[in-house]
Every structure is written in structure tokens, then in C-alpha cells.
A and B are shown apart, each in its own frame.
Chain A
């Protein structure tokens, strides 16, 4: 049975996603055994991200400088904007190294049942960007679920009058999976979106 500061550290660790009590206990004792500077480094990094982290005024990615690293990078193609739901989605797209344009984070997705309305997302800011910058293409990379889909359709309708090319990321089967285990909606979508070889 642990008590006091160790118990407090374990309780704090359990607040993290995917961390149960047992893992939290392991982490707490690992931190206890760490050299003081390394442990303080972790603590400082957490404090910094909370104190200095803010939204980029252009794309609404989380950053410590405004505009963020991607928006201020001159080598990026500013005529293409990839629209995503959350800042974490940018990390996933960046890992692919297949996109060299800029991003726009909506900070959520439309959900009528939950009362998430267009004014609660950064859609007006996206329209302003398209109007003021020389944007050639908008890539809608919202999640392929109901909320993401209606958000993509809403944005398409809103941007239609601005005469900008709007594309949606493809639907289909994940690489390495097996067709026999795919559900009918995914398979229907991948057949609809087939391409010539």
C-alpha cells in the first residue's frame, strides 16, 4: 500500500488515457528511480505545454509560436489546405510525408444530437482564409464517420460559391486487412471509389 506523495503521483497518472492503476504504479516508481534532472524535465515539459501552448491564429493547430511552424514555413504550398477535425490529425497526416500544403483545424465536427453547431467550429475562419489567400484546393480530411461526413458536406456547400476545388480523402479498406472481414458499408464505399489500373 502506497501513501502520500507516491499515491498522489499514481492517482495523477491514472488520469492519462490508456493508463490503469497498475501501469500508473509502475510509472510512479520508475519516476521515483529516475535521476532528478530527467524527472524535472518531464514535469517542466508538461508545465510548458500548458503555459505556452496556444492555437495558431491562422490554422488553429496547437503551437508555442504564432503563426505555427507549418504556417510560417515558406517551402509549404499555401494554395492547398487540408481541413482536419483535431490538431492530433495533423500529426497523423504529417507522418505520411505525402502532403506539403498547409492545414486548417476545425476543433471538432458537426453533431446535431450533441448540439455542436457550425458556429462552434472554425468554419468562418476557413472561409476567410479561402477568400483572402490564393487557395486552389481544399482537401477535406475529416473522420470517415457520420459526424466527419456531415461536416465535410456542410463545408462543401459553404465553399461552393467561392469557386475553389474541393476534394475528400478516399474511403476504403485498410492496407493489410482482409476483404472477408470488411463490413458492407466500407466495402460498398471502396467499390464506389475504385480506380482504373
Chain B
């Protein structure tokens, strides 16, 4: 049976001598793996259309329930090759690709995530150093897939967290904050405070900003310039949460980041 859909290449794995197994995020079938015959040969008809991040119109041939349909055609709609040429940018995007590869089940349609990824790549093509784009993607992705950290109420007693109020200062002391526990994936209130686990502090303003990000339209993101400290605070929580949910094998990825920072690309 011939299937046609639009897809973004997330990853390709070498198979045999010159073949590839390409993992796509498609608009109709969600995460999908396809077998491509001889794309590594110089005169392959696939050309550069199987490179990561390429958005293309693909045709596949295979039985209805075939695990690995054969890719018969791939026409580039948008190559996004400028994103692949910037090492630092590709590193940041790799994190996004990893999220898709690890959180999404195969062959389950996620048109909302497909649109989110496509929108983000389009925005990043013009400015790939905007940290807010990456953060926005992660927060929205976790929300759509149901892996969001719980930041609206205490993870134990369920009491609603008061995030609407401005940060209070008591006698000139530090601003009021909430304690986020990675192992609980949630904020825990003072009453139910967990023992043994080191919490991450989350300021009231960061919490408010996080809530706003969930509501804002992606088109509005360009117009927002939040303070770096606010971004770092939410990034810290979201990245720790993702690392906790995904498990340890991401340490090698951290090494690339460290090395990149060292040579200050």
C-alpha cells in the first residue's frame, strides 16, 4: 500500500552497506521509521532529502501493518540546512529531536506536535540563538504529551499554589519562592515538605511566566524578551524534569555541551 505524507527527519541510522533507516515525525502517522535503499551512494535519487531536520513530502510502500515501510520518494519542501551548519544550533536542536524520539510512541498521530516542531524550526532558521524558542517548545511539548511538571498545586496535598501574587519580601529578606522536587515532578508546599531530596527554588515571577508561556500563541513569542535570570530559572526546572523522566543516558550529550562551551563557538 502506498502512503504519502509530510515529514521532518529526526534521525537516520546506517543500515547495511549503503542503506539508511530514517526516523520521521510525520503529520499523519506521528513518529515513523522508513527504510531507504542506497541513499549513501553518490547518485542516489534521495540526494540530501534524508538529512536531519529536512521537511519533505514522502511516499512509502509497505503492508498496512509493516514495521518498516520502504521509502520510494522524498521531495524536499524546506531543507532547513542553515540550522545543520551551525554546530551550537544543531546541539540545541538535538535536544529537541531527542525529546521527540524518546517521548513519542511510534505510529501515533500527533499533528499538534508536528506543527509545533515545524513552527519552531521555521523560527529558528531566522534566529537560532533565541533560548526562549527552545524553552517554549519544551514546555508546550511536555504539556501536549502529558509529561508536564506539576507547578499549579502541591504534589502531595493538592493545595493550589498562589502564583498570581507578586513576590513578597519579609523584612527585606529573599523573595517568596516555591520548592520544586524533581523526584516528585512537582512543587511541594511547606506543609508537606519532602525529606532527603534537594529542592530547586522557583520564584513566584518565574512561575507566573511559566503559566503565561503555556497560554501564549507561538506567534507572540517573538515579541517577548524576558530577563535572562527568569529564563535560566525555568530552563533549570524543565531540563532537570526531562532528565529525570528520560533517565541517565543523556550524560554523553552533556559532554558535547561542555566541550562546545570550552571552545566558545
* A binding-site residues for B, Cβ under 8 Å: 17-18, 110, 112-119, 145-146, 149-150, 153-154, 157-158, 174, 176-177, 181-186, 188
Contacts and interface: CB of A to CB of B under 8 A. Distances in A.
Nearest to B84: A146
A186 to B, nearest CB: 6
B47 A150 contact: no
Contact of B45 (A145, A157, A181, A184): A181
Contact of B84 (A117, A119, A149): A149
7 contacts: A113-B52, A117-B252, A118-B256, A146-B51, A149-B85, A150-B87, A154-B87
Contacts of B16: 17-18
B259 interface: yes
Interface residues of B, number: 33
Contacts of A115: 249, 252-253
A117 B47 contact: no
Contacts of A116: 252
Contacts of A176: 43
A184 B76 contact: yes
Interface string B16-57: 110000000000000000000000001101011101110000
Contact of B255 (A17, A117, A181, A188): A117
A119 B260 CA distance: 12
Contacts of B252: 115-117
A117 B259 contact: yes
Contact of B90 (A112, A145, A183, A185): A112
B81 interface: yes
Nearest to B41: A174
Contact of A158 (B51, B79, B81, B263): B263
B224 to A, nearest CB: 28
Interface centre among B48, B98, B263 (most CB of A within 10 A): B48
Closest 5 CB pairs of A and B: A183-B47, A115-B252, A112-B94, A185-B48, A17-B17
A106 to B, nearest CB: 15
A119 B255 contact: yes
Contact of B48 (A153, A174, A183): A183
B263 A153 contact: no
Given A118-B256, A145-B51, A174-B43, A113 B98 contact: yes
